[in-house]
Structure 1
Amino acid sequence: MDKLQGKVALVTGASRGIGRGIALRLAQEGALVAVHYGTKQTAAEEVVREIQGSGGAALAVGADLSSLDGVHQLFASLDEQLIEHTGYHRFDILVNNAGWGHAATIDQVKEESFDAIMNINVKAPLFVIQQALSRMRDGGCIINMASMATRFALPHLLEYSISKGAVNTLTLVLAQQLGSRQITVNAISPGFIDTDMNVETLATQEGQQFAAGLSTFGRWGQPADVADIAAFLASHDSRWVTGQIIDASGGSRL
């Protein structure tokens, strides 16, 4: 354990779900974790307290990532807190987890919802990475959150699927560009995970059967299933892995 001792990580959208699981896991490995939240400050502070209660180190940082101003606000706050905690504003690990989506087929897509999804799922990771690179140490890592929705057709998740396809392309391009700095760039593509976003589906027996039936293992995923992969990608163990889209769907629709 403690493979990330001395490392500093920023996890966006870390107040709940997969982001929360990743924040807890990276802290367990010894990293100081910046727990980003958009609106759920109380939940983010609870994650920080849980990490600290287990002997880890964490801080909460809030920002609305739907605009470039919010991205600048994120790093202004992060810089200030990191300098207070460590004496510098450099960090090693960036996990772009913040995301949003809703059901819509081609005939249901509206400009407002399309723009909102693209702002959070594509524009935010792009500009968060842009601002992070001057602060990130050589030899660090970037982990983007993609989706199994890019691997097979889900017509009712058209906007979301498009946005995650863009994340895959961003991952590939930056892996090539940042190799000279020994920075790895990879994406994780989760399947159906037990998070707040899927609570309505799992509330019914029919929904549970659907979720479990997607995976070859006959169950739906837990945040820890994804967080363990993130911990590997954030560690030195993955130093020879970059530009990869790692499927974390439990073999969904093989």
Structure 2
Amino acid sequence: MASRSKLNQICQFCRCTPRTELKKCHKCGSVSYCSHACQREDLTNHQRACRVAREGVIIPPLDFLKTRKEKERLTEILTHCVPRLLTALYNDLARWMEAKSSALLERCINDLKLRYTPSACETHVLRVVVSRDEMWPSSTSTPGELFTVTKFQVMDVQYARESMVLWKDCMRELEIQRREAKANGLGMIAVVGIECPALATVRLLQFTGVGRYLLVTPAESGQRSHRRARR
């Protein structure tokens, strides 16, 4: 069986194995050629893979489009319209979180049983998975109707940091913020993580000074929520 170093000495275009050292693509460095002529001939085929290797950008094949105008239009949609659409959806998610923050805090206190074990807010978070029926920005729906909750789950922070791909980075940031809050005397922080698989994102709602909420009985909490709703 050929060694790995031997396999890497094959020209990307002509597939030959010259005696001289191959020259790598100077942009991505992921492929090699035996001559500049081979690199020029393979330019059209390598452009897409070259950009993916450099920037991590996934570009769908445009071979099914017939005219240059169609290709330019699809490229414009992918580079301009899609990012604006995602930004609008992220903004909708932020609006939904703000509208539901009080209800999510009460759910977090109840599900984590913080009135009986306050230390649970240091080791666990409330995972809330949301979905959206229409993946387009909405100007007519009220903020509370933009997303639908499909799952509530009490999740261990360590498990989220080590095993949940979408949660890893925000759990590391949360650990830093909790240390800073403890150093500044801000008290306990209860955390609700809003996970939206359609947007491949997790947004955290952090509630500082949760101790004062734990002193309120569930009945009083329900009365306050009812008064807020009537207003």
Band the TM-score falls in, shorter-chain normalisation: under 0.3
Q: Which TM-score applies when normalising by structure 1?
A: 0.20
Higher relative contact order (CA 8 A, sep 6+): 1
Computing the radius of gyration from Cα coordinates, the structure with the larger value is 2
